Amino acid sequence: MSIKFIIAILMTSVLLSACQEDLLPSNDPLENTNTIKQGSIVEDLSYTLSDGSQKTFSSELSMHDAVVIYFTMWCPVCDSHMSHIRNELVPEYTNVKFILLDYVSGSIAYTLDAQQANGYLDFDVIADYNNQLEEYFNGTMATTVVIDKNFVVKFKGLFKTTSDIKATLDSL
């Protein structure tokens, strides 16, 4: 054995033994059993809209058959998905509440600015400035969540087409 090989083995041993990091943490979103997924029952959470008003899931579900939440970052990809939702789903499902969720702007005022700049004044937009709903739903860019009147998540997907969402809404 060469001296370089022995040094490499010793250095690797030292580095691995010094690592106190849990390489398989239990809070990994892929393993987290607390993650909201299809079939989960959601809490009646309150949230703040871009105009500063407060709403709850129960207030929306008392007036609508379902709530569709779309997580947006105001980028071209999200805008394309939101345009499809606006043009293909909103007109067909008049008794469903479509809500955009802004989890990146960081304040109510910035959410309102982004909403106006991107032309979505006809939608309710959640200003998730404290990332409450982002964390609760484990959502990210282009996550779509459909919640029915019984607070059951009927659909949760990432970068799904409007036909996927439509099939869920048709089944309600």
pLDDT at 4 over 70: no
Give the pLDDT band of residue 161 (cuts 50, 70, 90).
Answer: confident
Do residues 84 and 68 touch, judged by C-beta distance below 8 A?
Answer: no
pLDDT tens for residues 41-53?
999 999 999 999 9
Helix (H, G, I), strand (E, B) or coil at 33: coil
In degrees and rounded to multiples of 5, residue 156 shows phi and psi of: -145, 120
| For residues 5-32, average pLDDT | 45
Task: Tell me the pTM.
Answer: 0.79
Per-residue pLDDT reduced to its tens digit, 78-133? 999 999 999 999 999 999 999 999 999 999 999 999 999 999 999 999 999 999 99
- Regarding the domain delimited by 35-170, which CATH topology (the fold level of the hierarchy) does it fall under? Glutaredoxin (3.40.30)
Bigger pLDDT: 11 vs 105: 105
Within 71-107, residue ranges assigned H as helices are: 76-84
Give per-residue pLDDT as tens, 147-157: 999 999 999 99
Domain boundaries defined on the chain:
35-170
Mean pLDDT of 48-61: 97
- pLDDT of 35 reads 82
Average per-residue pLDDT in the chain? 85
Q: Give residue 14's pLDDT.
A: 43
Across-strand partners of 154? Answer: none
pLDDT per residue over 24-43, tens digit each?
Answer: 344 444 444 558 999 999 99
Helix (H) or strand (E) holding 72: strand 66-72
